[in-house]
Amino acid sequence: MPPAPPAALPADARAAVLAWFDARGRALSFRATRDPYAILVSEVMAQQTQISRVVEAWSRFLDRFPTVTALAAASPADVLRAWRGMGYDRRALNLQRAARVIVAEHDGQVPHDLGALQALPGVGPYTARAVASIAFGAAVGAVDTNVRRVLGRAIGGEEGLTPPAMQAAADASVDPTRPGDWTHAVMDVGATLCRPVRPRCDDCPLTAWCRFAASSRTVAPRKPSDGRRREPFRASSRWLRGRIVDRLRDVEGATWIVVEAPIGDHDEGAIAAALGALARDGIVEVDPVATRRARLSIS
């Protein structure tokens, strides 16, 4: 039986990663703040969204809702308007719900306790650990897709790590003196060097300690398309819901509007179904009498 992989990156590996980060890490505006609320906003925005889109949206959102109290007091409709362009609108509503919990249960202060953070609406294990490490200096490892790939390869080699082993390795690998910078640094290594295909191992600060790099294996590029026709994104219900919400965002206040058909290739039936799904998610309100009259949720 092969020997078990080490449980964590050693101290000299951490030092190499942080030195690389100091010289080559991504300069992102939201990394300059230590305001726990602003950090929470950035981390919720970064869920399933490219960082380049988050940078502009984050500043715009904080201009509109500069404090957790301001966000908690807003209407869901105003929050959704400020979220324009980010997609996955339920994140915006969950962020506001989290703000209301923070005001009601934590005296308006983002909690530093990991359990309390994870209990907030829309805050999962990754987001809770990212906020705890970046905002409060907690030595906990936030595991996103990039971190999972970096540590899985460096510690687990070709076999990777099971989810429990991954979280344990992430927690044990945190640099205790710079936990927030460590969180950003490992993410940057994954985003820019330890890529899913054609990883840039020669430029990676972890190469000397990486079991995957030591195996001299390369990751094969993705196979080219087989030429089969894929469903156009415009034909998806997600696309339709996004267009409906954008139409409603353009209407100020609590005015009802009729969502006219067609939208793209979607007829009245598809629009009614999409409105029903959006209403169940709490994103829109639908007039109970006229099923295609709707507005963004106002309470």
Catalytic residue numbers?
Answer: 43
In 62-124 the beta strands, taken as DSSP E runs, fall at none
C-beta atoms surrounding 27 within 10 Å: 6
For residue 146, the Cα-to-chain-centroid distance in whole angstroms is: 12
Strand partners for 257: 294
- The sign one gets for the Cα dihedral 49, 55, 60, 63 is positive
Phi-psi region of 142 (alpha: psi -120 to 50; beta: other; left: phi over 0): beta
Q: Are the beta carbons of 87 and 242 closer than 8 angstroms?
A: yes
DSSP state, 266?
B
Rounded Cα distance between 265 and 214, Å, is: 52
C-beta atoms surrounding 26 within 10 Å: 14
Rounded Cα distance between 184 and 268, Å, is: 46
